[in-house]
Amino acid sequence: MESFLLFLRSHGMATAHPLCRWRQFAVALFCAGCAVIGVTVSAAPLAAIVRDAAGAVVADAVVYAIPAAGTAAGPRSARNVVIEQVGREFVPYVTVVQAGTTVAFPNRDKLLHHVYSFSPAKTFEIKLYSGAAPFDVLFDKVGVVTIGCNIHDWMIAYVYVVDTPYFARSDSAGKAAVGEVAAGEYDLYLWHPQQRNQPATTRLKLDGKTAAELALTIDVTPRRQKFKPPANPASYQ
């Protein structure tokens, strides 16, 4: 209520005749509505289907769009990001986040894990623990972060940190749903942990009205996991 009265006083409405006050208030609301309409930016869904050179769908590919010069960046991505340790594996295998995002690393196994990374984009270590990790990890630098477990060396995951709110990871059907993207020009990038080479950047021009689904190709090698021994509860590993 106090903030409302301050608004009225700032516009000379608090001391005016009641009828004048309401007229002034109506005009102020109309102007505010016009201002909001004036800054509304249209947006439309952007998605991609990712396939390899043989035409098979590719999961765990990172697709992201960076606004080109002259195109305004969208709002920050707000997500609760979790990378679990389940069955002595990291789940998901690939995660993509916007720079400035924190990630939780809960251990769902009934044994200890020791999560770490020596990657230049993020170096950290969460020593032996089970259940909830003692702290979340802030990913504040763009780049690829390779994550491992200091006890189970076959466990590996990747966090790809981008400087844009427009990103997605392809699912088991090869589809990466980036979401609503504002009108403008963008540079589209594609990445995968097992890529043979870096795919070329694609320039997109989006009108913010028409949904776009792209067909993308990336040359990848099959994922080869390290030997994973059977679980041995007696050794707690």
Q: What would the pLDDT profile of 146-184 be if each residue is shown by its tens digit?
A: 999 999 999 999 999 999 999 999 999 999 999 999 999
Triad 228, 63, 168: Cα angle to 5°:
75
CB 212 within 8 A of CB 45: yes
Higher pLDDT, 161 or 76: 161
Q: With pLDDT > 90 as the criterion, what percentage of the chain qualifies?
A: 70
DSSP E strands in the chain: the ranges are: 43-51, 62-67, 81-82, 84-86, 89-91, 94-98, 101-104, 113-119, 122-129, 137-139, 143-149, 156-162, 167-169, 175-182, 184-191, 202-206, 212-217
Distance CA 227, CA 110 (A): 20
Closest CA to 154 of 214, 90, 59: 90
User: Model's pTM, two decimal places?
Assistant: 0.79
Closest CA to 121 of 101, 91, 93, 149: 101
What pLDDT, on a 0 to 100 scale, did the predictor assign at position 231? 73
Kindly list the structural domains of the chain, giving each domain's residue range(s) and its CATH number in brackets, ordered by start.
2-38 (no CATH), 42-74+167-223 (2.60.40.10), 76-164 (2.60.40.420)
Residue 189: other Cβ atoms inside 10 A? 19
**Hey, is 26 helix, strand or coil?**
helix
Question: 12: left (phi > 0), else alpha (psi -120 to 50), else beta?
Answer: left
Among the residue ranges 36-40, 99-103, 112-116, the one predicted with the least confidence is: 36-40
pLDDT in tens, 174-222: 999 999 999 999 999 999 999 999 999 999 999 999 999 999 999 999 8
Residue 8 has pLDDT above 50, yes or no: no
Distance CA 209, CA 28 (A): 31
Amino acid at site 44: A
Residue 84 has pLDDT above 70, yes or no: yes
Distance CA 204, CA 166 (A): 13
CB 147 within 8 A of CB 83: yes
Average pLDDT (3-18) is 46
What are phi and psi for residue 226, nearest 5 degrees?
-70, 160
How high is the mean pLDDT of the chain?
Answer: 85
